[in-house]
Amino acid sequence: MLKHKNITAFCISVFFVLVVLYFYFEVKWWFILLPILLWLIVTVWGSSEIRLGYFTKTYCNNPNEKQRKIGLSFDDGPHPITEKVLDVLQKNNVKATFFCIGSQIEKHPDIFKRILTEGHIVGNHSYSHSNYFGIFSTKKVKEEIDHTNTIILQLSGKKALFFRPPFGVTNPRIAKAIEQTKHFAIGWNIRSLDTVIKEESKIIKRVKSKVALGGIILLHDTSLKTVTVLEQILLFLKSENYTIVPIDKLLNLQAYEN
């Protein structure tokens, strides 16, 4: 939130200085629009890029990681395809982190339980994953977080502390809800774009080019394409001597409340 407050204060100050200059020194009128434009650009950029931690502190990697550790995260499940992802992870003895949507957990409680039984970490990824999440009020975002946490608690006995905002979007209202519900905002720094790019080879190439110590890879356990991609990524990480660890271990954060 500090970054956003500083930029806002800076833009307001420049705006008033330009207004004064306009009246007393006849600078061009459109100069006054520049701080407004700058504020808009930075705010939109800060909202869409979770790695900037523009509105709230976000955890997107461990920059201090010295060993070859990396985290795998899967969003938007549980889904029937999650089972295939779990099979691949089990075969390779890899533990990952799943950011689950509350309404999906309600549809597939057994798959959700399997994620936990097999030793993976789960986090909260809202209840509805609505396309309008970015315009929700603080109250509504809090309701989404609480609702999903209740579902997770009922099925697992655990209170999740990790929250990943849908689409990685943050703004002052989402930031406030995360802070008030005392969650860690978890992002990523290696975006596979597995739901956007059509060709598997391109997704794999993209991930390979971005892999780094302490990084967090973002995948989605909702598409068959991702299962194939995952197998290739695991092979690559193994060949590069990476150890895949759940995000709580990578970031040294507590995934659940005691």
Given candidates 11, 15, 50, 75, which one binds Zn ion under the rule CB under 5 A?
75
Looking at the Cβ atoms of 188 and 242, the one nearer to Zn ion is 188
Work out the burial of residue 198: count CB atoms within 10 Å of its CB; fewer than 13 is exposed, 13-18 middle, 19 or more buried: exposed
* Closest distance of CB 125 from Zn ion, Å: 6
Q: Which one of the spans 34-42, 72-80, 201-209, 237-245 is the region binding Zn ion (CB under 5 A)?
A: 72-80
* Closest distance of CB 101 from Zn ion, Å: 7
- Read off the amino acid at residue 20: V
Cα gap 125→240, rounded to integer Å: 30
- Can you read off the two tokens belonging to residue 107? 């549809």
Interface with Zn ion, residue 248, by CB under 5 A = no
Site string for Zn ion, 165-194 (x = CB under 5 A): -x----------------------------
Looking at the Cβ atoms of 65 and 144, the one nearer to Zn ion is 144
Site string for Zn ion, 28-67 (x = CB under 5 A): ----------------------------------------
List the catalytic residues. Answer: 75, 220
**Per-residue 3-state assignment (H helix, E strand, C coil) for 147-215:** HHHHHHHHHHCCEECEECCHHHCCCHHHHHHHHHCCCEEECCCEECCCCCCCCHHHHHHHHHHHCCCCE
Looking at the Cβ atoms of 42 and 189, the one nearer to Zn ion is 189
Given candidates 65, 76, 221, 248, which one binds Zn ion under the rule CB under 5 A?
76
Choose among 188, 193, 179: nearest CA to 229: 193
Q: Is 71 helix (H, G, I), strand (E, B) or coil?
A: strand
Contact positions vs Zn ion (CB under 5 A)? 75-76, 166
